[in-house]
Amino acid sequence: MEISHSRLRFKPKPGFQPRESLFSASLHSDSDSEICEHQDGELNTSGSSTGLPRPSFFSPIVSSEFRSPEETDDASSFWDSGLCSPTPGESPRSRHQQERRANGTTTPIPLNLYDSDDGGPIGNVPQTPYTPPHKKFRSLRLYDTPHTPKSLLQKAHRRVTKVNRAKLGQRILDPRGPQANVNPFTSPEKCLMHSGMKRTRADLDSSMTEDSMDEEPPEDLPSCKKLALREINTSRYNEEFHEVCKLGDGEFGSVYKCVNRLDGCSYAIKKSKMPVAGSAYERNALNEVYAHAVLGKQLHVVRYYSAWAENDHMYIQNEFCNGGSLADIVAEHRMQGGTEGRFHEADLKRLMMHLTLGLRYIHSQGLVHLDIKPGNIFLQCTKGDNSPIRRLSESGHESGLDLEIPSDDDQMDEEVGVIYKIGDLGHVTSTVHPLVEEGDCRYLPAEILRDDFSHLPKADIFSLALTVFEAGGGGDLPKNGPEWHSIRNGNLPDLDHMPPAFNLMLKDMIKRVPAERPSAVMLVHNTALCPPGLKSKAQLRRELNAEKFKNEILKKKLEEAQKKSPLALSRLQMLPAGKSRLIGKKVNRSMSTQLF
């Protein structure tokens, strides 16, 4: 199977005009916005290989006239980094994908294209040059996110009051356009609460489809179109956070450890490397925010606090994971080599269980992650040693089978040791109407490349197996070639330090036929992860509660019986169990006998 070709699926609307060429009309000629359409609405962007020019509507061009020096630097460093071509008209994402593909680190990405800004009809964008965000827009922020600290809400409220409450009120009630985003991943109930009106799952699902994203919403429903980021620019980063250090760089953003000036807690704040407002990245960045807002409440998913747009950059405030990423640990292990160069049995089982619980939660919300890999797994080390490596080798070697099975209701403070968390939700999509952007090809199952999205949760299961295999010392995973295909045909070498049941479970998880792979729910109960007799704290707590409940019921029954007939009961209580009467058994009524 050929796995390195590039396709971008695109459904042009009648009267389509590339947005970038519209808002940067003063800077670029029309030739920049040439689009080459193939049959079936497929666009070929790999201009170099086909001789076809690339489309320009992904170009994240923001007029430098309107950028601050800092922004200009950020943008130019992005160009310099080689992640994106400064050539007008070239898609930064497609260019990056080409590079990753050249390095063999990714597979073709059938990216569904929309208007880069609001997913809606592009033709209704006023044909005026791009104007910088007006001051009054600063007062609008993503204040309705579930985890925004109260103080920020109050602060935002105060600012709103200062600006002009009456005017803003008019804006919020303005029927012409959206005043707050509608999260496409929220459940119908939440959306109902948000909108104050009834919406069915079908309504919501349809809001995720390509076509409906381009349609005008019905009059009585809140618009699913997005507020452009530049409309909700605010200034929070320096005002509310003290930047401690850079934690790392990703494809789209840099992540910084920051301390909130008010609550004194550390957070990981991801800042997009380049201005995303109006670019192809805006959709991706918003997708990550939507997913985090819906999923960030589970112990094994990196927690989300808030997100905002600042200088057209996207900022996402997440839980700070003090143990770094699993990829860092795997890299360290490799350097150590030998038997030290891998997770030991207990650690590997723990890793598998935590990630399975995270996936079980994500899948239960009707969503899939689609980019499970060591680089997207983060470690939280609680109580004591902050060094995950030391902690891991200690628990693996000395404490034997240190397996606890945390459940959703387990509290963080009860956990000692390492907690694994699923992060980087940029690829998350709905299972009902998926908009699939493929993740890292090393962890990707073959069916995704065939555009078979009928069992998306099983794609996560496949990636999880390979992630665990790598952490268990399975070695570098192939990016393509015969080995890549061999794994997709169900051939995974055994991890020699793991029991046969565990190796069998990994093999089940990578089965060729996705439907035959176990679900996350099944994995949680797999005896290879949860041996019989080994009960989690939560399980023990549940059983204890059930016994307490039974006791309460028995007590009540006893009290009632005592009230009804205290004498009879006391007699009964005195009788030995199983025997009603010792004297006069065969006589219908008791008789008193006179001895003298």
Ligand X SMILES: Nc1ncnc2c1ncn2[C@@H]1O[C@H](COP(=O)(O)OP(=O)(O)OP(=O)(O)O)[C@@H](O)[C@H]1O
Interface residues with ligand X (CB under 6 A) are 247-253, 255, 268, 302, 318-321, 324-325, 375-376, 378, 423-424, 426
Task: Select 112 or 254, whichever has its Cβ closest to ligand X.
Answer: 254
β-strands 111-113, 8-10 pairing: parallel
Helix (H, G, I), strand (E, B) or coil at 41: helix
Q: Are the C-beta atoms of residues 302 and 421 closer than 8 Å to each other?
A: yes
For residue 306, the cross-strand partners are: 317
Least Cβ distance, residue 328 to ligand X (angstroms):
7
Stretch (H or E) spanning 383: none
Place of tokens 């290989």: 49
> Which parts are annotated binding residues for Mg(2+)?
376, 424
CA angle 473, 479, 482 (to 5 degrees): 95
Least Cβ distance, residue 331 to ligand X (angstroms):
11
Helix (H, G, I), strand (E, B) or coil at 374: helix
Task: Select 91 or 139, whichever has its Cβ closest to ligand X.
Answer: 91
Give 423's contacts (C-beta < 8 A, 6+ positions apart).
301, 302, 318, 321, 325, 376, 377, 378
259: amino acid identity, one letter = V
**Residue 324 structure tokens:** 């770094």
Closest to 466 measured CA to CA, from 345, 340, 330: 330
Task: Select 207 or 311, whichever has its Cβ closest to ligand X.
Answer: 311
Place of tokens 């201009």: 47
371 among known catalytic residues? yes
Cβ-proximal residue to ligand X, closest one:
250
Task: Select 224 or 444, whichever has its Cβ closest to ligand X.
Answer: 444
| Region for residue 41 given its phi and psi (left: phi exceeds 0; alpha: psi -120 to 50; beta: otherwise) | left
Place of tokens 């860092």: 328
Helices (H), 35-68: 47-50
473: amino acid identity, one letter = G
Least Cβ distance, residue 286 to ligand X (angstroms):
14
**Residue 386 structure tokens:** 């902050």
Least Cβ distance, residue 308 to ligand X (angstroms):
17
Least Cβ distance, residue 154 to ligand X (angstroms):
26
DSSP-assigned letters across all residues of 463-532:
HHHHHHHIIIII-PPPSSHHHHHHHHTT-----TTS-HHHHHHHHHHT-SSGGGSPPHHHHHT-TTTS-T
Task: Select 78 or 378, whichever has its Cβ closest to ligand X.
Answer: 378
Q: Cβ of 151: how many Cβ atoms within 10 Å?
A: 12
DSSP-assigned letters across all residues of 124-154:
GS--S---PPPGGGGG---TT-TT--HHHHH
Q: How far is CA 273 from CA 58, 282, 443, 581, in A?
A: 16, 12, 25, 87
CA angle 169, 174, 179 (to 5 degrees): 80
> Which parts are annotated binding residues for ATP?
270-271
Phi, psi of 61 (to 5 degrees): -85, 120
Task: Select 32 or 319, whichever has its Cβ closest to ligand X.
Answer: 319
Stretch (H or E) spanning 290: helix 280-295
Q: Are the C-beta atoms of residues 274 and 448 closer than 8 Å to each other?
A: no
Least Cβ distance, residue 305 to ligand X (angstroms):
11
Least Cβ distance, residue 148 to ligand X (angstroms):
17
Least Cβ distance, residue 377 to ligand X (angstroms):
10
Q: How far apart are CA 269 and CA 254, in angstroms?
A: 8
Task: Select 18 or 253, whichever has its Cβ closest to ligand X.
Answer: 253
Q: What is the dihedral of CA 509, 511, 515, 521, to 10 degrees?
A: -10
From the list 74, 312, 371, 460, the catalytic residue is 371
Task: Select 424 or 470, whichever has its Cβ closest to ligand X.
Answer: 424
> Which parts are annotated binding residues?
270-271, 376, 424
Least Cβ distance, residue 444 to ligand X (angstroms):
14
Give 156's contacts (C-beta < 8 A, 6+ positions apart).
139, 141, 143
Task: Select 255 or 477, whichever has its Cβ closest to ligand X.
Answer: 255
Active site residues: 371
